[in-house]
Structure 1
Amino acid sequence: MLRGLSTVNIFADDVAAARDWYTGILGVPTYFAREMAGELAYAEFRLGDHQHELGIVDRRFAPTGTGDTPGGAVIYWHVDDVAAAVDRFVAAGATVHEKITERGPGFVTASILDPFGNILGVMYNQHYLDILAARTGN
């Protein structure tokens, strides 16, 4: 059964450029990288309270049938301030994909398109905070 996120992969034609962009926006360096034929083919970050992994994969290794346009599932990353997160991404060159939307008390979502064509969701999620507090005793 599903137990939690292990790795979320996004795709880019230029993994080095995507790594640099995400390093700047996230404020953390990658912890793992793999080169093939002298070019960066994979870069991975560990993020947040549970050190979930965000991997950037060279688009040539995308699964068959994966298009080069945004689509599919939207993965939402918890943030404490959705508007501030969206503003930060947009200031760095992303565009708004889905505007900020309140889904109910304690649940606010939005998504952006990164400069590499990937959808990235951000969400204030009270459930996430409740679970974290229960596990950490805060």
Structure 2
Amino acid sequence: MFSGVAEVMYFVSDPKLAAEWYSRFFDIEITVLANPDYFFVKVGEQEVWFHQADDKVPSGVAGHVAYWQVDDFDAVLERAITLGAVLYRGPLDRKDGSYMCQVKDPFGNLIGFIGPSVKMMSENSNLDN
């Protein structure tokens, strides 16, 4: 019946500018359709779309967050912050060997990351001593 999430869509004030930021963050190319108002990036099999924010769906932090599974939590978080994202929540220890956090992108939307963190594991082991 269900085969997976088709796409993640961010509602933003400037879809092209948002697509450019995410293109830099994920280090991938932007896909532009025949309609020049729509842009997306493809990360693995997942499409991330950018749509003009409006009265029905403004940009912001009110609800759903897509969490990306990452191989190096520390590097991804540092990259996001270097490109202008702001740590919003976490990092939190999931107690399963990985950590999670949310960052706010420059357009006011949240991105979540889940993955192993050498830095966090080291800090937590120092607390145990």
The equivalent of 1:44 in structure 2 is 40
In the alignment, is residue 121 of structure 1 matched against residue 112 of structure 2? yes
Distance 2:87 2:72 in 1: 16
What are the residue-to-residue correspondences of 1:1-138 with 2, within 5 Å? 1-33=1-33, 35=35, 40-48=36-44, 51-60=45-54, 64=56, 66-124=57-115
CA deviation profile, 1:107-138 (whole Å, cap 9, x unmatched): 3211100000110001128xxxxxxxxxxxxx
Query: Secondary structure in 2 aligned to 1:17?
Result: helix
Aligned length: 116
Identity in percent:
26
Q: Following TM superposition, by how much is the alpha carbon of 1:34 offset from its aligned partner in structure 2, in angstroms?
A: 5.1
Gaps of 5+ in 1: 126-138
Matched with 1:135 is none
Distance (whole Å) between structure 2 residues aligned to residue 71 and residue 29 of structure 1:
28
Q: TM-score, normalised by structure 1?
A: 0.75
Between the aligned partners of 2:58 and 2:11, the Cα distance in structure 1 is 10
- Tell me how far apart the structure 1 counterparts of residues 95 and 33 of structure 2 sit (CA, whole Å): 39
Partners of 1:10 and 1:20 in 2: CA distance: 13
- On the 8 A contact 2:15/2:37 being kept in 1, the answer is yes
User: Are the equivalent residues in 2 in contact too, given 1:112–1:121 (CA < 8 A)?
Assistant: yes
Change in Cα spacing, 1:102 to 1:78, as seen in structure 2 (3 Å) is same
Any unmatched runs of 5+ in structure 2?
117-129
The superposition leaves residues 27-60 of structure 1 with CA deviations (integer Å, 9 ceiling, x where unpaired) of 111224353xxxx422111102xx1111011113
TM-score for both structures, normalised by structure 2: 0.80
What SS does structure 1 have at the residue aligned with 2:94?
A: strand
Contact 1:109 1:122 in 2 (8 A): yes
Q: Find the residue that maps to 1:55 and give its secondary structure.
A: strand
- Between Structure 1 and Structure 2, the one with more strand by share is 1
Give 4+ residue runs of structure 1 displaced > 2 Å after superposition. Answer: 31-35, 66-69
